[in-house]
Chain A
Amino acid sequence: MSYQWNWSVFGQETVVGDGSTYAGWMLAGLKMTVTVSLSAWVLALVMGAIVGVLRTVPGKGLQRVATAYVEVLRNIPLLVQLFIWYFIVPELLPTAWGNAIKQLPPDTQQLGAAILCLGLFTSARVSEQVRAGIQSLPIGQTRAALALGLSLPQAYRLVLLPMAFRLIVPPLTSEFLNIFKNSAVCSTIGLLELAAQGRQLVDYTAQPYESFIAVTVMYLLINVVVMTLMGWLERRVKVPGYMGH
């Protein structure tokens, strides 16, 4: 095969003359992937906890709203949701808001849409885990909390949620891994994350294999780091007396 391998391409300055090396582009992409994923993860945990709780509270109305939220977010492809957040939501908001959004720099708009979209998409999945976690607790826990004089919100906040979250660390780990992988979809709206930078390198250098291998290895590294951290967390918060998975 006639392909010329040249790993030193990463040390070269880019042809666009922005003073960065190609390795610099890669690291900027990695930073963007991590920023988007972590911000979206915070949103997903908060919304997931709220919606997961709503699906278990007494009262049909709230349960229906929460179920509808989950079904809509789970049954529409991520790519379609992303395009809706990026292209359509600004159009549908009141004109003044829409214009304010459109006047933001494009990369801010992309980042905002990416975080919102990924966060809410993942929150539907997190909420299912939270619900399963709460429902796996003995009903006596709720009753005991209420009998001790706690209000229902207090019972959730002080008794049920802390237990539920400790039990669902393993499934949350896989959602956490997914959010990093799903963030690659955001390259389609022009967000310069890892996959997009890899593609850019293919266009600007004659070394497509090196750049794609580098990007792939970086995703593998993210995976290893997340699994190691979550494994540590899982051991830390394990509830004694429950089966470990």
Chain B
Amino acid sequence: MAYEFDWSSIPGSLPFLAEGLGVSLKITLVALVVGMVWGTVLALMRLSPAAPLRWFATGYINLFRSVPLVMVLLWFFLLIPQLLSQLFSLSPGTDVRMTSALVGFALFESAYYAEIIRAGIQSVPKGQLSAATALGLSRGQAMRLVVLPQAMRNMVPLLLTQAIVLFQDTSLVYVSALADFFGSAYKVGDRDGRLVEMLLFAGAVYFVLCFALSRLVQVLQKPKAQH
């Protein structure tokens, strides 16, 4: 092998990389929270008896699931900020691009969470809802107090698996110039002419984190398999 490795630029850049990893985790967390909340709302709309709500949710979910994440990020990074500053005549100094990219990412992931949550809700026997309404709970109360808690418990492994995917997806904010972990590693490698080492290092870090989390998901799944 002709290539001579030189890992010396890693130790010095660790604080910078840690900052990048912090950004990645922050994006993951925000998208996760928004994805779960907005995803639940979408799932409920999709199962709602009101047709317009159902249409809206179905359209939203199908649209976001048909379009590549890169495309969504470009929309929210390049076009939506322009639109917003025209609509609200923001001062030219306000840079909403980062926030916009983050919002786009969260809206995209919500569509995937909505489908997982819908499947979770549908996995709860219908009798639960009937029993709850028979006891005098309203439909909203029945959903909130009876159906959703059970659905959430059934969904934990799937939600976590999707969280791993989401964490990996955050690397794509690279197209929007947000300095996440991958972006930071790339910058350092580019600066020091050590792209090979930095990219391999980045790959190794992602692998360790995602692999550990996926093992955790497997452990969580185990007790259920015994039933």
Task: State which of B3, B69, B78, B210 has its C-beta within 8 Å of the C-beta of A202.
Answer: B78
Question: Complex Cα distance A177/B62, Å?
Answer: 13
23 contacts between A and B (CB under 8 A): A1-B83, A1-B86, A3-B86, A71-B211, A75-B164, A75-B214, A77-B171, A78-B171, A79-B174, A83-B199, A88-B196, A94-B1, A180-B68, A181-B66, A184-B69, A195-B68, A198-B71, A199-B78, A202-B78, A208-B82, A212-B71, A215-B71, A220-B67
For the complex, is B172 an interface residue (Cβ under 8 Å from A)? yes
A83 touches B74 (CB 8 A): no
Q: Chain A contacts of B186 at CB under 8 A?
A: 83
Q: Chain B contacts of A95 at CB under 8 A?
A: 2
For the complex, is B195 an interface residue (Cβ under 8 Å from A)? yes
3 closest cross-chain pairs (CB), A and B: A184-B68, A75-B210, A95-B2
For the complex, is A21 an interface residue (Cβ under 8 Å from B)? no
- A162 to chain B: closest CB distance in Å? 29
A212 touches B214 (CB 8 A): no
Question: Complex Cα distance A122/B182, Å?
Answer: 21
Q: Chain A contacts of B202 at CB under 8 A?
A: 80
Task: State which of B68, B169, B174, B199 has its C-beta within 8 Å of the C-beta of A87.
Answer: B199
Nearest chain B residue, comparing its CB with the CB of A80 = B203
Nearest chain A residue, comparing its CB with the CB of B204 = A76
- The secondary structure that dominates the A interface is helix
- A82 to chain B: closest CB distance in Å? 10
For the complex, is B60 an interface residue (Cβ under 8 Å from A)? no
Question: Complex Cα distance A182/B70, Å?
Answer: 8
B210 touches A216 (CB 8 A): no
Question: Complex Cα distance A15/B64, Å?
Answer: 33
Q: Chain A contacts of B164 at CB under 8 A?
A: 75
* Interface hub of A72, A76, A91 (most chain B Cβ within 10 A): A76
Q: Which residues B182-227 have CB closer than 8 A to chain A?
A: 182, 186, 195-196, 199-200, 202-203, 206-207, 210-211, 214
Q: Chain A contacts of B58 at CB under 8 A?
A: none
For the complex, is B51 an interface residue (Cβ under 8 Å from A)? no
Task: State which of B74, B78, B196, B206 has its C-beta within 8 Å of the C-beta of A92.
Answer: B196
For the complex, is B145 an interface residue (Cβ under 8 Å from A)? no
